[in-house]
Amino acid sequence: MGLADRDNQPFDELALEEHIATALAVEEPRGRELDIVYAIIKRVFKPTVVGAENIPDRPCLFVGNHSLFALDGMVLGPVMQKDLGRFIRPMGDKFLFSVDGIGNYLAKHGAVIGHPEVCSALMKNGSDLLVFPGGAHEAVKSASEMYALQWRERYGFIKLAAKHGYTIMPFGMVGPDEFYGHLIEGQDLPDSMLGSLLKRVGLLTEDTRSDMMPPIPTGLLGTLIPKPQRCYIGFGQPVDLSEYEGKKLGKKKLQTLRAEVAGEIEEQLSELLLLRAQSRDEDSLLRRLLTF
């Protein structure tokens, strides 16, 4: 069942209630499918986890930097579940759930729409949640914005975590931003030869927002297959908001808490980039060639 109409308008209360019921009924994935995906992830991307000891033994809202084309979840989910024993519930934009096949697949594997009522229901249920405040803006960023947070004026995740006294678990992730090269940046596409062609066939119009255009990607050997970049995941210090449970925070406090979370993520990104540079010699010649 889609959660938005074909024009992607907000869904009604009944659809919202059904989505929440479906989300609460989802069981942690197990079995052969997960084992196969995990084995592939470990083999191809060789994820390294640091700072796992910082994760508290209580439900958390995991907050991190979003990667190009939102491919971080492909690596993060199986690693979190198999290596750390945490079944995280990613929160995504409603348009992802507007198509029956995609929406049903995402829901089956634990993803939920990023709606305050959905988030509140899962927090009351004691679930581990995952959010990327940068959303679609970070998922279509240019090469010059790699590993840069683009949160704009988004404070919803802070408000909800405070309301329920949740712990925010900041993390950084290095690798997925480089699964693809950028043949043409999104903002340059309208003025390119390819952009002219897309305009002629009606796929690019004057109403298309240039800041939401993804780059034209080049993956493994020029294909659309992701390059086998090694991935590094680092967890910072948790931000416990239990003292704010049930309280409505002012703008200044929201800004302070958000800055604290962002600072933890940025510190992890810096440390992970350094760790990767120091570990280059561990990569095989083939991996270096394929990720060049």
Has residue 7 got a pLDDT over 70? no
Distance CA 164, CA 126 (A): 10
8 within domain boundaries: no
pLDDT at residue 211 in the model: 66
2 within domain boundaries: no
Q: Quick one: 238 and 276 in the same domain?
A: yes
Q: Quick one: 249 and 130 in the same domain?
A: yes
Q: Quick one: 157 and 206 in the same domain?
A: no
Distance between first and last Cα of the chain:
42
Distance CA 88, CA 135 (A): 17
Residue after which a domain boundary falls, among 218, 246, 266:
218
- Place 207 in a pLDDT band, splitting at 50, 70 and 90: low
- Place 210 in a pLDDT band, splitting at 50, 70 and 90: low
pLDDT at residue 14 in the model: 86
Which token pair is 127?
A: 């679930």
Q: Quick one: 71 and 46 in the same domain?
A: yes
Q: Quick one: 22 and 163 in the same domain?
A: yes
Q: Quick one: 127 and 71 in the same domain?
A: yes
In this prediction the pTM is 0.91
Sign of CA dihedral 203, 205, 207, 213: positive
Q: Quick one: 106 and 187 in the same domain?
A: no
Distance CA 136, CA 31 (A): 31
Report which of residues 5 and 218 the model is more confident about.
Answer: 218
131 within domain boundaries: yes
258 to each of 54, 74, 118, 201, 252, how far by Cα in Å?
19, 26, 21, 43, 10
158 within domain boundaries: yes
Q: Quick one: 144 and 73 in the same domain?
A: yes
Residue after which a domain boundary falls, among 189, 218, 247:
218
List the CATH number of the domain containing 126: 3.40.1130
pLDDT digits (tens, 9 = 90+) for 18-28: 999 999 999 99
Q: Quick one: 151 and 168 in the same domain?
A: yes
Q: Quick one: 94 and 190 in the same domain?
A: no
Q: What percent of the chain has pLDDT over 90?
A: 69
Q: Quick one: 125 and 201 in the same domain?
A: no
Q: Which of 66-70, 106-110, 215-219, 286-290 has the lowest mean pLDDT?
A: 106-110
pLDDT at residue 190 in the model: 80
* Count of domains for the chain: 2
**Which residue segment(s) compose the domain that 164 sits in?**
13-180+227-290
Q: Quick one: 84 and 201 in the same domain?
A: no
